[in-house]
Amino acid sequence: MTTPEIAQKAPFQVDVEAGRSYWWCACGQSKRQPFCDGSHKAGPFVPVEYKPAETGTVWMCGCKRTGNQPLCDGTHNTF
């Protein structure tokens, strides 16, 4: 597997707290999207840490093809 699975062709809305660590699933196989649940272990992908500077709402990439991990950059609109 060299390309990640598409978890969904749309971002996940997530409420985040400033300074807290979030581990975004990069492989697309997690059952707790958009976060890593350890399912990546058999493949080449590792989760991406996200530590927001501000508390608020963000849109995390669900298609796993964003150029701005872990946030959605609109790439899912090209499918």
User: Which listed range, 13-21, 33-41, 49-57, lies at the site for ligand FES (CB under 6 A)?
Assistant: 33-41
Query: Closest Cα partner for 29 from 49, 51, 1?
Result: 1
Residue 49 DSSP symbol: E
| φ, ψ at 75 (rounded to 5°) | -55, -30
Answer for which of 47, 50, 58, 70 binds ligand FES (CB under 6 A) is 47
Answer for which of 22, 25, 50, 70 binds ligand FES (CB under 6 A) is 25
Question: Are the CB atoms for 26 and 39 separated by under 8 Å?
Answer: no
Question: Quick one: 18 or 20, whose CB is closer to ligand FES?
Answer: 20
CB of 53 to ligand FES, least distance (A): 21
CB of 39 to ligand FES, least distance (A): 4
Region 48-77 residues binding ligand FES, contact defined as CB under 6 A: 61-63, 65-66, 72-76
Strands (E), the chain: 12-16, 22-24, 48-50, 56-60
